[in-house]
């Protein structure tokens, strides 16, 4: 296709998706992508700038200008040399690398207007005479990860040629090659076959399961944990994949699927897998955006063996690659997954096979992976280590959904499971793989507290566990967590309030609470008080809630300030946990374990714990 300055040209499907996502939240810098190349040797700054400006001029994607029109977003190519190269000397700083990275992080966190150019930043940092950092930031609408690699390699080639006094020929293909390729595909029968495959594969519209149930817009500054495997460790994974019937990529995907299964209990696991989406020599030489993300769907059970899992991943991956040119954005529309809370896949696993350690004038480099763009939930990126040896793992998480501590736990447990899979026999069941470290296993040989009696009540068992491991995490939800000690203390305080309101043996406490850590506190508090809990889903119709409460006759209703207004009048006394107007201060009650003397009646193992109602499809709901 030809590009016309007057009318402009339509964006690719990948670019159009990024355009609308960015325009939806203009101030969000999550679509900024950036990498830093550390050069281990002296750099001629003038020749470097000459090489960089030639490289930027050669890559048409940097000339892209975007505009909103009546026909949607359109692009034009408007080359300009009027862009700044930021030259920053950090050699006097106590930690030059940290100072340079702080500058880069601030730049990455700055949102850009897609209708204003340029949509990129170039900077060169001098850390020492023989240590330099080249930083490149580009909006994701300009470059994908493969495009970054093309730019870095071309810059290194051009600079090295200039240093040696040699000529360089243009190597990039025009941006139009990517659009021509996509347009030809979209008009082909191949796309129709791909669409039929994907819509049939997901005809039952499975709900994708993630490691958190919440959703949030991608954050411009994701949380990150990284680890490096040696060359020997990477070879061990390759050998394990071959032993189990596939390759290292399949082994890594199998480990991620097994981890999601073990964490959530899901038997239908869908991972997001980035695909390159480039065909032919020209497309492989065109910096731009072509990468897409497609769903890899796997069935797992605790009895699924390591060999079965790896081979099923291999079969699904072959099928995915056979239909990989179909866009994930199109599949979302086909499946009507357009709402912000509707997931097509859970964690994304990005297996990057290409290395990005170019040589500048004969000097080696180290690539510092800064940002791959938006992370909606959790992303695991695996790429070759320095010089192509070993592997680097990056665990990126949306800080609106995860904390640093929770991400660290996921990283450690995933690597623990991967290590087991690397040694696994063909017939080892997934359910036999452990996620816990030695320090996380509970043993009654520990000195803190004696084991509960065989007929101990659930509150007594929980209190014994809290005495043994008060600092261990007991419950986690959407980035919030409570240790066993914290959960026990909060439940004790609330239980005393409930006892004061008359809750005890033979009585039921209705719980109308949102899904949160507070729900767990509420359930445990009711049991500590000696009563049975009656779960009420605030989303249920008023008629259902009235029928259930009329049947169970709860003594009291426990709810929250943001839930209470939506509940019908059930004729029950209420405890609104976070209602400041009532003046009820739960924190004023003692956090110590309750004694039987404080309850209306002593606890016994035979007391009722909860009341669950039938659906009522054959009559009135029955408890």
Is the pLDDT score of 5 beyond 60?
no
Separation of alpha carbons 265 and 302, rounded Å: 9
Average pLDDT over residues 567-585: 73
Does 118 sit behind a cis peptide bond, omega within 30 degrees of 0 on the bond before it? yes
The two tokens of residue 311 are 């081979």
Average pLDDT over residues 468-493: 85
pLDDT band for position 471 (cuts 50, 70, 90): confident
pLDDT band for position 443 (cuts 50, 70, 90): very low
Q: What is the pLDDT of residues 152-182, one digit of tens each?
A: 999 999 999 999 999 888 889 999 888 889 9
Phi-psi region of 604 (alpha: psi -120 to 50; beta: other; left: phi over 0): beta
Separation of alpha carbons 616 and 581, rounded Å: 37
Residues 6+ apart with CB under 8 A from 176: 1, 2, 3, 60
Place of tokens 């920053």: 88
pLDDT band for position 448 (cuts 50, 70, 90): very low
Is the pLDDT score of 607 beyond 70?
yes
Average pLDDT over residues 585-613: 82
pLDDT band for position 449 (cuts 50, 70, 90): very low
Q: What is the pLDDT of residues 348-402, one digit of tens each?
A: 999 987 666 789 999 999 988 888 778 888 999 998 887 778 899 999 999 888 8
Closest CA to 155 of 179, 135, 175, 138: 135
Name the most confidently modeled range: 43-57, 207-221, 478-492, 583-597: 43-57
Is the pLDDT score of 131 beyond 60?
yes
What pLDDT, on the 0 to 100 scale, is given for residue 615?
Answer: 61
Residues 6+ apart with CB under 8 A from 483: 470, 471, 472, 473, 474
The two tokens of residue 207 are 């709900």
Closest CA to 347 of 419, 410, 408: 410
DSSP 3-state assignment of 513?
A: coil
Average pLDDT in the chain: 87
* Contact predicate 6/74, CB 8 Å: no
Separation of alpha carbons 595 and 28, rounded Å: 53
C-alpha count within 13 angstroms, C-beta hemisphere, residue 34: 27
Separation of alpha carbons 534 and 548, rounded Å: 9
- The bridge status of strand 348-351 relative to strand 378-384 is parallel
Q: What is the pLDDT of residues 97-113, one digit of tens each?
A: 999 999 999 999 999 99
Is the pLDDT score of 341 beyond 80?
no
Percent helix, strand and coil across the chain, each to the nearest 5 = 40, 20, 40
DSSP 3-state assignment of 409?
A: helix
What pLDDT, on the 0 to 100 scale, is given for residue 581?
Answer: 54
The two tokens of residue 481 are 């967590």
Q: Any bridge partners for residue 55, and if so which?
A: none
pLDDT band for position 453 (cuts 50, 70, 90): low
* Contact predicate 219/400, CB 8 Å: yes
Separation of alpha carbons 17 and 398, rounded Å: 20
Is the pLDDT score of 139 beyond 90?
yes
What pLDDT, on the 0 to 100 scale, is given for residue 400?
Answer: 86
Q: What is the pLDDT of residues 311-338, one digit of tens each?
A: 999 999 999 999 999 999 899 889 888 6
What pLDDT, on the 0 to 100 scale, is given for residue 526?
Answer: 85
* Contact predicate 351/393, CB 8 Å: no
How many angstroms separate the most distant Cα atoms in the chain?
Answer: 92
Give the alpha-carbon dihedral of 192, 193, 194, 198, to 10 degrees: 100
The full length of the chain comes to 623
Average pLDDT over residues 195-212: 86
Separation of alpha carbons 540 and 510, rounded Å: 14
DSSP 3-state assignment of 149?
A: helix
What pLDDT, on the 0 to 100 scale, is given for residue 447?
Answer: 43
* C-alpha Rg value of the chain to the nearest Å: 29
Give the other-Cβ count within 10 Å of 455's Cβ.
9
* Contact predicate 479/397, CB 8 Å: no
Average pLDDT over residues 241-246: 92
What pLDDT, on the 0 to 100 scale, is given for residue 442?
Answer: 46
| pTM: predicted TM-score of the whole model, two decimal places | 0.70
* Contact predicate 250/317, CB 8 Å: yes
Separation of alpha carbons 122 and 133, rounded Å: 11
Q: What is the pLDDT of residues 499-518, one digit of tens each?
A: 888 888 888 988 888 888 88
pLDDT band for position 204 (cuts 50, 70, 90): confident
What pLDDT, on the 0 to 100 scale, is given for residue 618?
Answer: 52
Structural domains of the chain ordered from first start: 9-176 (3.30.559.10), 223-280+287-353+375-432 (3.30.559.30), 450-598 (3.40.50.980)
Backbone angles phi, psi at 272, to 5 degrees: -90, 130
* Contact predicate 273/294, CB 8 Å: yes
Long-range contacts of residues 409-414, Cβ cutoff 8 Å, at least 24 apart? 409/473, 410/211, 410/378, 411/225, 411/227, 412/437, 413/259, 413/263, 414/255, 414/256, 414/259, 414/380
What pLDDT, on the 0 to 100 scale, is given for residue 539?
Answer: 79
The two tokens of residue 282 are 């020209």
What pLDDT, on the 0 to 100 scale, is given for residue 271?
Answer: 95
DSSP 8-state assignment for residue 211: S
């Amino acid at each position: 296709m030809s590009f016309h300055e007057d009318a402009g040209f339509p964006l690719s499907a990948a670019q159009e998706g990024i355009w609308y996502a960015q325009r939806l939240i203009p101030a969000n810098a999550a679509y900024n992508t950036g990498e830093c190349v550390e050069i281990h040797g002296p750099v001629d700054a003038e020749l470097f700038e000459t090489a960089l400006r030639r490289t930027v001029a050669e890559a048409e994607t940097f000339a892209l200008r975007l505009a909103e029109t009546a026909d949607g977003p359109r692009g034009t190519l408007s080359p300009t040399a009027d862009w700044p190269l930021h030259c920053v000397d950090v050699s006097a700083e106590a930690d030059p690398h940290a100072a340079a990275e702080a500058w880069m992080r601030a730049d990455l966190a700055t949102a850009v207007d897609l209708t204003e150019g340029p949509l990129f930043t170039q900077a060169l940092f001098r850390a020492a005479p023989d240590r330099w950092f080249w930083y490149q930031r580009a909006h994701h609408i300009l470059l994908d990860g493969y495009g970054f690699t093309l730019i870095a390699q071309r810059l290194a080639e051009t600079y090295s040629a200039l240093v040696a006094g040699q000529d360089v020929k243009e190597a990039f293909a025009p941006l139009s090659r990517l659009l021509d390729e996509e347009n030809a595909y979209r008009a082909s029968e191949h796309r129709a076959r791909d669409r039929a495959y994907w819509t049939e594969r997901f005809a039952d519209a499975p709900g994708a399961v993630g490691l958190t149930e919440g959703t949030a817009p991608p954050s411009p500054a994701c949380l990150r944990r990284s680890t490096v495997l040696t060359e020997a460790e990477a070879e061990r994974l390759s050998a394990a994949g071959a032993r189990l019937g596939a390759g290292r990529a399949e082994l890594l995907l199998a480990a991620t699927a097994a981890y999601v299964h073990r964490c959530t209990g899901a038997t239908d696991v869908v991972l997001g897998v980035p695909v390159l989406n480039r065909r032919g020599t020209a497309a492989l030489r065109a910096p731009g955006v072509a990468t897409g993300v497609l769903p890899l769907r796997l069935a797992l059970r605790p009895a699924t063996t390591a060999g079965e899992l790896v081979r099923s991943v291999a079969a699904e991956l072959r099928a995915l690659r056979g239909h990989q040119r179909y866009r994930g954005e199109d599949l979302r529309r086909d499946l009507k997954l357009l709402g912000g809370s509707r997931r097509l896949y859970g964690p994304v696993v990005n297996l990057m096979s290409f290395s990005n350690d170019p040589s500048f004038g004969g000097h080696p480099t180290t690539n510092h992976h800064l940002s791959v763009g938006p992370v909606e939930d959790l992303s695991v990126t695996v790429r070759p280590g320095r010089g192509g040896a070993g592997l680097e793992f990056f665990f990126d998480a949306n800080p609106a959904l995860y904390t640093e501590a929770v991400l660290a736990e996921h990283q450690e447990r995933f690597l623990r499971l991967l290590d087991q899979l690397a040694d696994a026999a063909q017939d080892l069941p997934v359910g036999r793989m452990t996620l816990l470290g030695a320090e996380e296993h509970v043993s009654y040989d520990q000195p803190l507290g004696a084991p509960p009696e065989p007929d101990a009540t659930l509150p007594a068992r929980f209190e014994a566990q809290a005495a043994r491991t008060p600092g261990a995490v007991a419950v986690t939800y959407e980035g919030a967590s409570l240790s066993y000690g914290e959960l026990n203390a909060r439940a004790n305080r609330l239980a005393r309030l409930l006892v004061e309101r008359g809750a005890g043996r033979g009585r039921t406490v209705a719980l109308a609470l949102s899904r949160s850590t507070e729900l767990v506190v509420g359930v445990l508090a009711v049991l500590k008080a000696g009563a049975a809990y009656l779960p009420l889903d605030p989303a249920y119709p008023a008629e259902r809630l009235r029928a259930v409460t009329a049947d169970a006759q709860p003594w009291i209703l426990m709810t929250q300030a943001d839930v209470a207004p939506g509940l019908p009048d059930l004729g029950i006394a209420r405890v609104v946990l976070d209602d400041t107007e009532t003046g009820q201060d739960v924190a004023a009650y003692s956090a110590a374990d309750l004694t039987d003397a404080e309850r209306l009646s002593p606890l016994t193992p035979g007391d009722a714990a909860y009341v669950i109602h039938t659906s009522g499809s054959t009559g009135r709901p029955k408890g």
